[in-house]
A = this chain, B = another copy of it.
Amino acid sequence: MAKRSETFHPENESDFLFEVVSGEFLETIEQAIEAHDEEKIRERLLVLDPPDLALLLEQLDAPDRRFIIQAIRQGFDYDTLLGLSDHVQSEVVEYLGIDALAKHLAELDSDDAFTLIDELPGDQQSEILTKISASQRASYEKILSYPEESAARLMQQEFVAVPSFWKVGDVLKFIQKSKAMPDEFYEIYVVDPKHHVVGVIPNSFLLRNQGDAPIRDIMKVDFKSIPANVDQEEVAYLFRHYDLISAPVLDESGRVIGMITSDDVVDVIDEEAEKDILQMARVSETNYNAPFYITSSQRIGWLVVTLINALLGAFVIEHYHATIEQKGSLAAFMTIVAAMGGANGMQVIAVTMRAFSTRLIHSSNIWRPILKESLVGLMNALVFSLVLTLIVLFWFKDPSVALILPLALIFNMVWASLGAVLLTFFIEKLGFDPAVSAGPLLTATTDVLGFASFLGLARLIL
């Protein structure tokens, strides 16, 4: 393939820098498809990097995708499959044919091949497993024995391990002669006869030393290694915290069985961040290419939670309907108390979650955020009470509401601050994810307490 080096310039016309698959490019391809110009499609698409080709395929309709795959079947880079969403991936595999996939699977890194097989739907998966070699199948099944989202599922099984009595020159000779080298690697592992890692040598250390240097003298002994069954979030934390580029993965007996590199971890961090953001917005999954009725059904779960929360609030309000009928404006002001409590609580949840994920909070120092957030909540509640009292007095000229509103507001905002820390802490301790449940649970309380405190006081005083 005749690729050329690319530098992207900010003077580009496109929406983004680094944009290969621009709107304009997309149009060119769609026109070529309409004109059945296979030659042009091959010319434009076979020079693309796999991630860019994947991005293009995601943006087309199914018939167009079929046409393109037929046109570029020869010379198709199977790495492209890794950039596709599940839905489109299984479709493209169908167009390519299981036989072709089985033949080309060995070109991929083992972690990529594993991910690919794992993501295929059941029928395609069992078909491909009958067509790959016995050793590939064994390696697939070994990985499958580890839990989902574990380090083992992330690692590649290709790595370089050498005995500790070698010299740098021996390592170079070994690397140059061995046929089963990983495509790229950033460090090699020094192992004892039991295949336990005793040291790690970054490639740059090998380059920097003469051939006669014993590797025992140049290897790093303060390295991090990862048990095969830990969760990928822990792996991401380790890479982020210690700025790692690569780390060995060990099985239960401490033998090195694979290697995780930082590009895999970047994907995990991106995935986890996406999950957190979607969960904050109460969406369980995003699949841009799913048909609308599937998307609709995926969204309903969280909307039901919202409905239950809203019904809870509605029942409280309904309980005070006689009070509201005395003075309709109460309905206007009660929503302010609930909204301010909810907003305040969400802020505290986000900050507390962050402190947890950067590991600044433990059980032994949880009193710190409790104290601080309650103070912050009280202070801000006082500020907004003052503002609202003035608004109600001078705008609505309603002294009784000017008395009730600040009291309810202070109560609700301080509760929101305190409740947010406690709720996040307990959900975290129970082993659940506060990004999912803390928000709706807290909002339910700030709505109910906001409405009840304000309307309750109103009934007492009016």
Contacts and interface: CB of A to CB of B under 8 A. Distances in A.
Contacts of A245: 184, 186, 245, 261-263
Interface stretch (A67-75, A130-138, A282-290): A282-290
A340 interface: yes
Interface in A230-270: 230-231, 234, 237-245, 250, 254, 261-263, 265-267, 269-270
Contacts of A182: 204
A303 interface: yes
A217 interface: no
Given A7-B250, A10-B230, A175-B207, A350 B263 contact: no
23 contacts: A4-B221, A6-B222, A7-B226, A7-B250, A16-B359, A18-B230, A18-B237, A22-B362, A23-B362, A26-B364, A181-B204, A184-B202, A184-B204, A203-B204, A240-B267, A245-B261, A274-B354, A278-B350, A288-B369, A299-B376, A303-B380, A314-B333, A335-B335
A22 B327 CA distance: 56
Contacts of A336: 307, 310-311, 314
Interface string A292-335: 11011001101100110111011101101111111111111111
A36 interface: no
Contacts of A266: 239-240, 243, 262, 265-266, 269
B209 A376 contact: no
Contact of A379 (B296, B302, B335): B296
Instruction: Decide if the interface of chain A is mainly helix, strand, loop or mixed.
Output: helix
Given A238-B18, A273-B269, A343 B306 contact: yes
A166 interface: no
A169 to B, nearest CB: 11
A336 B10 CA distance: 47
A358 B83 CA distance: 11
A276 interface: yes
B295 A242 contact: no
Given A293-B379, A336-B310, A336-B314, A362 B322 contact: no
Nearest to A272: B273
Contacts of A52: 241
A5 interface: yes
A194 interface: no
A281 interface: yes
Interface string A102-121: 00000000000000000000
A344 interface: yes
Nearest to A18: B238
A51 interface: yes
Nearest to A177: B208
A8 to B, nearest CB: 7
Given A229-B10, A324-B331, A175 B4 contact: no
A176 B205 CA distance: 10
Given A242-B51, A310-B340, A380 B299 contact: yes
Contact of A322 (B296, B310, B328): B328
Interface string A342-354: 0110110111011
Contacts of A317: 331-332, 335
Interface stretch (A38-46, A89-97, A383-391): A383-391
Contacts of A393: none
B281 A349 contact: yes
Nearest to A379: B296
A323 B352 CA distance: 42
Contacts of A315: 332
Interface in A1-26: 1, 3-10, 15-19, 21-23, 26
